[in-house]
Amino acid sequence: MSIAVLRTFIQQRKLEHKAMLARQAKAGPKVPDESVSEMEPPADSSQHNGMSSDGCKLLEEMSQDEQCSISDVQTRNLRRKDLELKPARVLEALSASGLRALRYAREVEGIGQVVALDNDKVYVESCRRNIRFNGSVACSKLESHLADARVYMLTHPKEFDVVDLDPYGSPSVFLDSAVQSVVDGGILMCTATDLAVLCGGNGEVCYSKYGSYPLRGKYCHEMALRILLACIESHANRYKRYIVPVLSVHMDFYVRVFVRIYR
């Protein structure tokens, strides 16, 4: 499911980039407001180094045209590089042995880099061993780090197109840093496995973690999804961002949501 959503997101990302380029091309290049003042030669010198004033003006105009053409080419090249769509960067914040990160790197086209994090040295060594077992494709795209996911995401703001959170229990402690590490228009994939709390088993604990009080009923699983979405939205709003839900799923003992984050 996560791979299918990631593939769809990358395709949608390409379409949005093409639409943005089309809008910019339709708008046309911006005309600078400041006009370039031309330098006038001294009035008393009719000749300069054996050349007439008309010849000097012609040389000056030619040199100015050459400089303008060179600067225009350089500006266009820089603008073209800025407008190029870079491959997506993916962060799996709680990777354990890195199996999901490996599947992202091997099975999803359009991904440039996958970063796998864990704060357990044993899991990081296992992830690096699995990377070596999976050949050159995994080695070129995937890297594993021993780090606290919260600190890493806070020190890398707006660097990742995709952030995947799949903790044991509640993801609430990671949401504040996760919403800051996603680029504008990126996607956050978040799992909550404490379904008993979200479905009304302990209302006080749910309120302390998610800021909402659950009610028991036949609709408890839908309420669990809405509580998780509201929690992510509240964290995003603190940084002048908002979410757009893409897919919300309840399965077995957990709920998982996919949201895009915008400014």
Return the pLDDT at 127.
92
DSSP per-residue string spanning the chain: -HHHHHHHHHHHHHHHHHHHHHHHHHH-PPPPSSPPPPPPPPTT-SEETTEEHHHHHHHHHHHHHHHHHHHHHHHHHHHHHHHS-PPEEEEESS-TT-HHHHHHHHH-TTEEEEEEEES-HHHHHHHHHHHHHTHHHHHHHEEEEE--HHHHHHTSTT-EEEEEE--SS--HHHHHHHHHHEEEEEEEEEEE--HHHHTTS-HHHHHHHHS-----STTHHHHHHHHHHHHHHHHHHTTT-EEEEEEEEEETTEEEEEEEEE-
Give CA–CA dist 20/42, Å, rounded.
Answer: 49
Q: Which CATH architecture has domain 1-14+68-156?
A: 3-Layer(aba) Sandwich (3.40)
Contact 129, 98 (CB under 8 A): no
Structure tokens, 76? 């266009």
What is the tens place of the pLDDT at every residue in 140-158?
889 999 999 999 999 998 8
How confident is the prediction along the chain (263 residues), in pLDDT tens digits per residue? Answer: 889 999 999 999 899 889 888 888 888 665 455 544 444 555 554 444 555 555 555 556 556 655 555 555 555 554 555 578 888 999 999 998 889 999 999 999 889 899 999 999 999 999 999 999 988 888 888 999 999 999 999 999 888 999 999 998 899 999 999 999 999 999 999 999 999 999 988 889 999 999 999 988 889 999 999 999 999 999 999 999 999 999 999 988 899 999 999 98
Q: Sign of torsion, CA 137 168 192 233?
A: negative
What is the tens place of the pLDDT at every residue in 228-248?
999 999 999 999 999 999 999
Return the pLDDT at 24.
84
Domain ranges of the chain: 1-14+68-156, 193-263
